[in-house]
Chains A and B, each alone.
Chain A
Amino acid sequence: MKYFYSILLLIFFAGIISAKGKNKETTYTTEGKFVYDASLSANGKVIICTDNTALKAFSVTTGNLIGSFTGGHRSKVLCVAQSPDSTMVASGGSDSTVVLWDYLTRSIIQRITFATGKITSIKFSPDNQFILFGCSNSPAYLYDLKEHKKINEFIDQKMDVTSVAFSPNGSLIAIAGGDKIIRLYNSADFQLRTELKGHTNWVRSICFYNNGQNLISCGDDNKIIQWNLSKGNFSKMNTLKDWILCVDILNNASNKSNMFVFGTMNGSITIKYAYGFYKAKLNSPVSKVLILPTQSGLIEIAVATLGSGLIQLHAVDMKVSD
């Protein structure tokens, strides 16, 4: 019996040690281990993530902390976006407040407080003029940053909004969430253009690619769906083993191949590239994945997790599969 217990304990600790040592990873120094969202600057050099009631900015190349954005939120920050011209940062929180920050001084430009639900997703328009944000109580809002006023309220959603996006040319607005539907609106007149129905559970993340001709989505049905917006049809790309919480894409215009990365509730990360897959497993749910641009040509990703902080992973250290 003594030997049995000893073996059992040995297996236990071996399991813990091996689980923690599977991936070579760089962890950014956040105060909290729960990182709900992260955003990469347009030049790919700065990553800003949520960190309790603040935001933290890190250098992608060194991993060092550049600065903190504090004093804008009363409770935890849930989403963050950087403006395409890298002059502003927007954050939304569980205090129902959107805060607009000056990128360089890290001071508050404006606080937007008319929303009543928690702010779950936020994006800048490609022309830096608008921000689009979605709420946990179902509406999404388009806000004019120059006029300082709400331009439109999108109220078609029946449940929580989980992800919002602008198409690369800004002509389309996409809103997805708990009602399983992705709605596309014209940015010009805010008319509902189409409803994309294919998911059978909450949609968690959406992303335009191929210059806005396609959209990829993933969700709690464990499915990844690629939508052809010009033809209005879709194809199921893959199915993973748990809720897929986030997706990111690297468009490669030169060889017309795209690289996708997905993060799931059970902590798995899958990179799909032209020749196969890279896979890694973390101990915490993955809330955001970002493909980092590198000079070396090697694939690197930043991963925001609910429990293990913000981590940088190198695909070369990950498991390869066909």
Chain B
Amino acid sequence: MKRIILISLIVFLQVNVFGQLLDNRANFQIGYETGINLGKELFNNQGIMAPSFYSNFKSLNGITFKGILKLSEHISTGLSTSILYNSDWESQHYSSYIKSNEKSISIKPVFQYHTAFKDKNIFNRLKLYGEVSPVIGFSAVSLAYSNFDVIGDADLKSQLLKSNNIYYGLSLGGGAEYKITNRIGVFANLSIQEHLIESPIYIDNRRSALTLSIGTVLSLAKYKRFNY
């Protein structure tokens, strides 16, 4: 069955390379994002070792939005935002952050280098790109159990179960967009992200993640000068 799908896909691509599309000035991506947190089970912060908060989350899911404006044949720029949810904290030897979760929202100015649009053949519909983005984000952490013994002070106890932090970092990625019609297409994007983040309730001061986004591309504005 997989072979049939693959052959069908190749045939479909060949058939449609002659259905010419027009270049677009602005694209909007909306998609589902999933990924894995990179790093070891233990985090080493200047010689202090403790179970890593981020590396041990086994589930990283969310949604992503990206608006891209084409500046030249090969360069586009835009803004991207992701809302991600980290859950399923799991460690072989520790239970420090079990049942914890983290919600984050990030904003990334995107600088993209991509293949040039062609009037015909495969690059009429397909765009391959690489991109770099500085990242700034907000992270809301919620622990199920406190790692500190607090007796009597209920306020302090609840404070130690939650932590809101600003983080910043860098994202490097690449992907592909395939246009089905002049207005709609699909995309897949792979990116690696490195963030600097600090919180009083865990030892990690940075985190890394590899994420995959898939979704729909909407073309919002066409080139007025598409025909000359």
Among A9, A13, A33, A160, point to the contact of B120 (Cβ < 8 A). Answer: A33
CB pair A306 B4 closer than 8 Å? no
Number of interface residues of A (CB under 8 A): 29
Q: Which one, B4, B18, B228, contacts A120 given CB within 8 A?
A: B228
Count, A-B residue pairs, CB within 8 A? 58
Among the 9-residue stretches A54-62, A164-172, A279-287, the one with 4 or more Cβ atoms under 8 Å from chain B is A279-287
Main secondary structure of the interface of A (DSSP, over half): loop
A34 within 8 A of B: yes
A160 to B1, CA, bound (A): 52
Cβ-based interface call for B158 (8 A): no
- The interface size bin for chain B is 20 to 34
* A307 partner, pick from B18, B224, B228, beta carbons under 8 A: B18
Closest Cβ neighbor of B5 among chain A residues = A5
Residues of B within 8 A of A13 (CB): 8
Task: Check if A285 sits within 8 Å of B22, measured CB to CB.
Answer: yes
Query: Which among A178, A202, A284 is the interface contact of B19 at CB below 8 angstroms?
Result: A284
Which chain B residues in 146-185 approach chain A with CB under 8 Å?
182
Partner of B20, one of A94, A178, A307: A307
When the two chains form their complex, are residues B4 and A265 in contact, meaning their CB atoms are under 8 A apart?
Answer: no
Q: Which of B1, B120, B224 has the most CB of A within 10 A?
A: B224
Interface residue A136 (Cβ < 8 Å from any Cβ of B)? yes
B228–A36 contact, CB under 8 A?
yes
Q: Are B1 and A78 in contact (CB under 8 A)?
A: no
Contacting pair A220 B224 (CB below 8 A): yes
Contact of A283 with B19 in the complex, beta carbons under 8 Å: yes
Q: Is the CB of A5 within 8 A of B1?
A: yes
A34/B224 in contact, CB under 8 A: no
A16 CB-CB contact with B under 8 Å? yes
Instruction: State the CA gap A178–B228 with chains docked (Å).
Output: 13
| Cβ of A70 under 8 Å from chain B | no
The verdict on B119 contacting chain A, using a C-beta distance below 8 Å, is yes
Smallest Cβ-Cβ distance to B20: which chain A residue: A307
Assembly CA distance A144 to B12 (angstroms): 52
**B48 lies within 8 A of chain A by Cβ:** no
- Chain A residues within 8 Å of B225, by CB: 136, 160
- Sorted nearest first, the 3 A-B pairs with minimum C-beta distance are A307-B20, A283-B19, A118-B228
5 further A-B contacts with Cβ under 8 Å, apart from A9-B8, A243-B222, are A16-B12, A78-B228, A136-B228, A287-B227, A307-B21
Residues of B within 8 A of A (CB): 1, 4-5, 8, 12, 15-16, 18-22, 119-120, 182, 222, 224-228
Can you name 6 A-B pairs with beta carbons within 8 Å? A2-B1, A78-B227, A78-B228, A94-B228, A202-B224, A285-B227
State the A residues within 8 Å of B (CB): 2, 5, 9, 12-13, 16, 33-34, 36, 78, 94, 118, 120, 136, 160, 178, 202, 220, 243, 245, 265-266, 283-285, 287, 306-308
